[in-house]
Structure formats: structure tokens, C-alpha cells
Amino acid sequence: MINVIIFGSPGSGKGTQSEKLVEYFDFEHVSTGELLRREIHADNSLGRTAKGFIDKGQLVPDELIIDIIDELLIDRSPCSGIIFDGFPRTIAQAEALDRLLARRNAKVDIVLNLNVPEEMLISRLLNRGKDSGRSDDNMKTISNRLKVYYEQTAPLADYYRKAGTLCDINGTGTVDGIADEIRKAVDTVRANYPECNKAPK
């Protein structure tokens, strides 16, 4: 299993770049934000719980997210690839992911850390909020999402730097320019799995 994490603050381009990566590699895109929005749309119990946190710009409790990921990892073939977008977001989630992958003789292969200055993040999210219909793309919630990011999620960069898997990416260029840089980084880890190397799409 090849496991890629796209990491960065809200608005850093995680979702955008994940879409680009799946156009090129035969990977599955797992966005915990999208999964939660689907549950909210279905108006089920998980969705109603998640909405309460998301609308305030807070993180959904770790155990709910870890259960979702645990289920997703069932019956993976040894050569499947996953792009985790927006997961993990806390140290507890990162440790849980390491455990879940180790049980399957797998590991986190690379963490793509998208670096974007704060004023650009805010402008991207406000811009998206004009037509996304997302209840969390407004200034009040964005401010809290950024605060939560710095407090709870940013420390993960050190966690993965120590593990030797962090790869810093400048997230301020064009979408295609950033995608090229990311593709090269992911190609280097794919080379560690010669038995899985089908030519990219």
C-alpha cells in the first residue's frame, strides 16, 4: 500500500492538489472533510454531530474520524494507493494511522506539506465561500479554523519531519505548477514499490 498524506492549513490547496494527483496516479482520494460533508447531507446521526463542530470551525472528535479511516482500510490490496486529504489533523490521529497501517504491514510513505501565507489562505477561502455553499467558508469560522490548525494540526509537521517523511512544497504558485512538483515527489516514493509500478495514467 502506498500512503500519501496531503498536509496544510485550511485553504492551502489540499483538495485541489488531491484531485490533480488522482488524475495522474491510480490512487484513491480520501478526504475526511468530504466524507463528513456527505454524512451531513444525508442528515444522519454522524452528520448531525459533525455539523456542530464544522460550523464552529472546530475539529470533529478523533474517535469518530479514526473509526471512519479504520473501516476504509479494510481489504486493501497490497499495491493500492491512498491520498489522505485532511487526515490526520491531530497527533492522536497520526498515531492511530501509524497503528492501523502497521497492522497491514504498511506505513505513511510521504507527507506533502503545502506552505501558503495566511493572507492568501483567507482570500482563497472567502473567494470559495461566494459560491461553494460551504457553511464554514465565512470570516468568523475561517479565523477559528486557522487558530485550531495552528494549535492542533501544525505540530504534526514536526511529527512527520522526525519520521523522515515530510516534504515541503511551496503552495503559492499555479495549480499546475504545484501539481508538477508534487508528482515528482510522489514518483520518488513509488520507486520504492517496483512490484506495484504500473505506468501512470
14 noted as active-site residue = yes
**Residue of 3, 5, 11, 25 that binds ligand B4P (CB under 6 A):** 11
Q: Which three cell numbers stand for residue 89?
A: 489533523
Q: CA 201, 104, 153, 129: dihedral to nearest 10 degrees?
A: 40
Comparing CB distances to ligand B4P, the nearer of 2 and 59 is: 59
Distance CA 27, CA 5 (A): 12
Q: Which residue is nearest to ligand B4P (CB)?
A: 33
103 noted as active-site residue = no
In whole angstroms, the minimum distance from the beta carbon of 186 to ligand B4P comes to 17
CA distances from 159 to 94, 129, 153 (A): 9, 32, 10
For residues 96 and 66, the answer to whether their CB atoms sit within 8 Å is yes
Q: Which three cell numbers stand for residue 31?
A: 478526504
In whole angstroms, the minimum distance from the beta carbon of 191 to ligand B4P comes to 26
Across the chain, the runs of DSSP E, i.e. the strands, are: 2-8, 27-31, 81-85, 110-115, 166-170
Site string for ligand B4P, 154-193 (x = CB under 6 A): ---------------------x--x---------------
In the set 51, 89, 124, 190, the catalytic residue is 89
Footprint on this chain of ligand B4P (rule: CB under 6 A): 10-16, 32-33, 36, 53-54, 58-60, 65, 86-87, 89, 93, 124-125, 128, 136, 145, 175, 178
